[in-house]
Amino acid sequence: MARWIVQSEIARLDQVKSALSGLGLRPVGSAFDYIFVDIPDEMVDKVRALPFVVSVTPDKPARIAQLLLPVDRKLAEFQRLFFSNPITGPALAIKFITEADSGKQRVPTSVSRKMVGAEEAERDGISGKGVKIAVLDTGTGYDFFFQGPYLGGRSSVEGEPVPLDQVGHGTHVQSTISGRPFASMHGLLKGVAIDAEVTAFKVLGHLIGAGQTSYILRGLADAVEFGADIVNMSLGGDEQGPEDPENRLITALTKQGMIIVVAAGNSGPDPVTIGTPGDGEDSLTVGAVDIEGKIAPFSSRGTTKDGRIKPDVVAPGVNILSTSAGWIAAMQVGDGPPALAAISGSSMATPHAAGVVALGLQYARSKGKTLTTKDIKKAMAKYGDYPRDAKNNDYGHG
């Protein structure tokens, strides 16, 4: 029996739930107009035929948006070797990481933030103050970058009710956005928007940064309740197109003024590799470049399957040094204490972009205005390296 996502007409949610119960199906959760329910294959068409049901789609896997070895693949190989043999496995895993990281350039966030203009903004008093950012990821951990435990938010991951970060991915993302200054052995660490109010909503877990579409939908509902201005989603799954539940919901939330910043994915350099929900029309989709501004080989490229140019923009995402927790902190022990990690991925680029959006929102509000996703994309088209019609499927607007 598989889990399915049943979309109801918004005013008919209770009727659809009752109809499902009448078929002997018990919903396990819901978010907005979506109901999550385990349905035997032979009953899927019966559910589709119920009154007021808009769509029925599978609950698909999601994951953290994955030397230049993206962090998702690196973590998977580290764990595979670690558990391959109780005696030799840990040594093999350490050997793998040591070789993978040999000679790599570590880029502290105090350096990468300059690349996106955060240093200049802060000199003008713009630091993200008053802006709320929800990070939908693997949760958050004990983070010296935040100078203590920071466990806000909730968890949507089944079997993991506390938003504690056992993977380390969400902690790295969160501290890249707003981490307070911290003098590490490799240089100063400092988030892009240090005064933004950032809260973690755990939608990925199971020790490897895996989840389901239903977890993400519930996480978006939590972000709305939190009052988030911006949502950072350094995650994705295989491209599903505009009718995917995540993309439908992002479109609806964008119309309400929320700005949702999403990783492009780590399946490059081949074209047509943007993941969902990065493929969504209303997602602000972010690819990864190195500190020199060159596109990372792993960064996913457009077009989308329906022919639209993506990503929208790129940001630093190669060997970004920030703080971490859990498996990634253990895996990257060579990057130094306390729990530092220099890792790569469009996941690392996305919080840089989310931080810049927070700076833009604060500045706009100081002038009595606001910013929408449409406004931000217009600004990218005007001021990016690849303005307007020059936008391309590697760098977006640059």
Cβ neighbour number for residue 350 with a 10 Å cutoff: 32
Q: Which of 33, 59, 137, 229 is catalytic?
A: 137
Cβ neighbour number for residue 363 with a 10 Å cutoff: 16
347 is catalytic: yes
The rounded distance, in Å, linking the Cα atoms of 94 and 393 is 36
Q: Look at the alpha carbons of 294, 372, 391, 269 in this order and tell me if their dihedral is positive or negative.
A: positive
With a CB cutoff of 8 Å and minimum separation 6, the contacts of 64 are 71, 72, 75, 137, 138, 167, 169, 204, 209, 234, 235, 345, 347
In three-state secondary structure terms, 324 is coil
Q: Which of 165, 169, 222, 394 is catalytic?
A: 169
Q: Which of 72, 73, 44, 75 is nearest to 58 (CA)?
A: 44
The rounded distance, in Å, linking the Cα atoms of 177 and 22 is 47
397 is catalytic: no
169 is catalytic: yes
Q: Which of 155, 184, 299, 347 is catalytic?
A: 347
User: Which two three-digit tokens encode residue 296?
Assistant: 């990372």
Report strand pairing: 61-64 vs 340-343.
unpaired
Q: Say if residues 151 and 140 touch (Cβ distance below 8 Å).
A: yes
Report strand pairing: 34-39 vs 2-8.
antiparallel
Instruction: Please identify every residue annotated as catalytic.
Output: 137, 169, 347
